[in-house]
Amino acid sequence: MWEEYRYRHDMVWRLAFRVTAVAAALLIAPFLADESVRRNVTWALVFLPVLAIVVILGGMFVLQSELGHLDHIKNAYRCAQNDALSYLPQPDCWTPHPLPPKPSRFRPLSWLRSVKFGERVYAYLTALLLLALVYVGLFVGVWYDKVLNGH
């Protein structure tokens, strides 16, 4: 069961990294295009950043499925772990366990400990999506003419 848990967890991380790498490559591709490519494809360069948005949305869709599998195996793994450690007091293994309280020192990001792994990954991909949307808006509205004409 540990191998399945580790596989699912790694799958989510790999998905996030791959979506980021592909989206970043598609977003900067118009700026890296050769002068002759820019002249020949003109508005088609705008579709590369739009494709980055499609990739991010597709990644979020796949992530939803993978997080469901990860949650299922995580719950089963924790129940098996509780059964193996039956000599310890055990809460209900199918409910989320709150983290123990920390000392009251000032910690600016202490709220982040209460956010689930899947929510963090979704927040990251959502931020990436929003940045890509802003980028496409700026690219079409401001940079496109400069990139194509070299001004």
Mean pLDDT of 24-51: 84
Nearest one of 61, 43, 60, 21 to 139, comparing CA atoms: 43
Question: Do the domain assignments include residue 109?
Answer: no
Q: Whole-structure pTM over 0.75, yes or no?
A: no
Question: Do the domain assignments include residue 131?
Answer: yes
Q: Residue 100: what are its φ and ψ, rounded to 5°?
A: -65, 150
Question: Do the domain assignments include residue 88?
Answer: yes
pLDDT of 109 > 70? The answer is no
Q: Which domain holds residue 13?
A: 2-96+114-149
Question: Do the domain assignments include residue 105?
Answer: no
Pairwise pLDDT comparison (10 vs 93), residue with the higher score: 10
Report the domain count for the chain: 1
Question: Do the domain assignments include residue 51?
Answer: yes
Question: Do the domain assignments include residue 103?
Answer: no
Which bin fits 42, alpha (ψ -120 to 50), beta or left (φ > 0)? left
> What per-residue confidence (pLDDT) applies to 62?
92
